[in-house]
Amino acid sequence: MNKKEIQEQRVKKYFIDSTVNLLKTEGLRSVNVRSVADNAGYSFASLYNYFKDLNELIFESVKVFVEECNDFISERVENSIQGKERIRDISVLYVKYFLEYPGAYELFFLERMGNIGNKEQICDLIYNSLNDLCKDDFAYCVKKKVFSAEQAEVLKKQLNYCVAGMLLFYHNRHNPKDYKEFITTVTEQINQVLQ
Amino acid sequence: MNKKEIQEQRVKKYFIDSTVNLLKTEGLRSVNVRSVADNAGYSFASLYNYFKDLNELIFESVKVFVEECNDFISERVENSIQGKERIRDISVLYVKYFLEYPGAYELFFLERMGNIGNKEQICDLIYNSLNDLCKDDFAYCVKKKVFSAEQAEVLKKQLNYCVAGMLLFYHNRHNPKDYKEFITTVTEQINQVLQ
DNA sequence: AAAGATAATGAACATTGTTCAATTTTGCAA
DNA sequence: TTGCAAAATTGAACAATGTTCATTATCTTT
């Protein structure tokens, strides 16, 4: 990476960090070319020297959130029991991460992607974000014959779909009505998936 | 309902029908005050004499889609076997209805509601749309002791969350990649939920 | 220090939602 | 039927936002 590329990456990072901050503090609705550029210390027009459009910039921040989410969860499951128990803990923490950052939820699951460059890569990153976290423990369960290998594949997907569905209804359709009831439902549903 | 109210309802219906048509044919992105009003034969400004804002109008069409979806499914499960089998058939058809009308999917699950008048009512209508369709068959399963009453409640939710999650990933994140694989996943997952 | 390359910017435009004052239409009493 | 008040309809205008592009500022190299 030559000097020019280094500087370009630096400026891109200013924009991405600005976007991440806005997503965390104000949510997706508050992310627009002018607010992002202001926060980054540039004019809104400069944004287009580094990103094809606003959407491309917004989805660049997925990588940052995936890493942060992984850290958030890793820190908190160190004492969890390997296998089903840890899958359960990870899944609940995954939900809690997106409750803490609704802007990240909107980005991961709701925002339209349009024609960004590395669409497939980012889609896969999002789709696999929970599965990657649970991978080892599912493998452990298969090894210990808690699940068959085929069963594990179905259950991984089910966990992912069920969690995404719960977050969708809670975030977008206020169901369940309050946080407490929601967390009860989350644990109940995750337990049901893992049987 | 007096003459004035009748006429008001009539004009509201023109706007709602126009919105439904646009949602069906062009999707949610194409629904805006000008296109809706054009299709209804009014100026965009007239819309505000009948609805608080565009969002309120858009969510009025939820009721239309729920009815249409119910008809779509009822017509097609007449020969299904009561119980688990029919729950499965209903769920697959529910998915297929939203595949046929992606605009309806966007409306039901993705669109932000803002401060529309009867928000709770519409949220509940959406949330319960699949459960209402399966209600009788779950009751039948409980009666026949296929599930306990408590188990049935958990499974109803799981079906709803799982279906919503699958539609979310397919519509918004292109996962699974193609229709055929998606339908395979849908049946696999629904079977897993119902065991 | 000058010139050419690179980066940053504001002006301008398109799209969309919303408000409001002006205009048109309607309903009804004389 | 006519005239007027109420109601309905409308276009002009504004704000917010995404995007493009020509101009300006900055930097690099000689």
pLDDT tens digit sequence for A70-89: 999 999 999 999 999 999 99
Query: Using the CA of B46, which nucleotide's C1' is the nearest one?
Result: D9
pLDDT tens digit sequence for A119-171: 999 999 999 999 999 999 999 999 999 999 999 999 999 999 999 999 999 99
For the question of whether the overall pTM of this predicted structure is more than 0.95, the answer is: yes
Q: What is the pLDDT of residue B172?
A: 98
Distance CA B108, CA B102 (A): 10
Distance CA A113, CA A119 (A): 7
CB contact under 8 A, A164 and B169: yes
CA angle B57, B60, B65 (to 5 degrees): 130
Query: Are A92 and A77 spatial neighbours (Cβ–Cβ below 8 Å)?
Result: no
Instruction: Give, as one character, the DSSP assignment of residue A81.
Output: P
Instruction: Give, as one character, the DSSP assignment of residue A41.
Output: T
pLDDT tens digit sequence for B63-104: 999 999 999 999 999 999 999 999 999 999 999 999 999 999
Structure tokens at B40: 């209804």
Query: Using the CA of A49, which nucleotide's C1' is the nearest one?
Result: C7
Is B1's pLDDT higher than 90? no
Name the residue among A126, A174, A189 with its Cβ closest to that of B161: A189
Distance CA B8, CA B152 (A): 43
- Average pLDDT (A80-102) is 98
Asked whether residue A34's C-beta has any atom of DNA/RNA strand D within 7 A, the reply is: yes
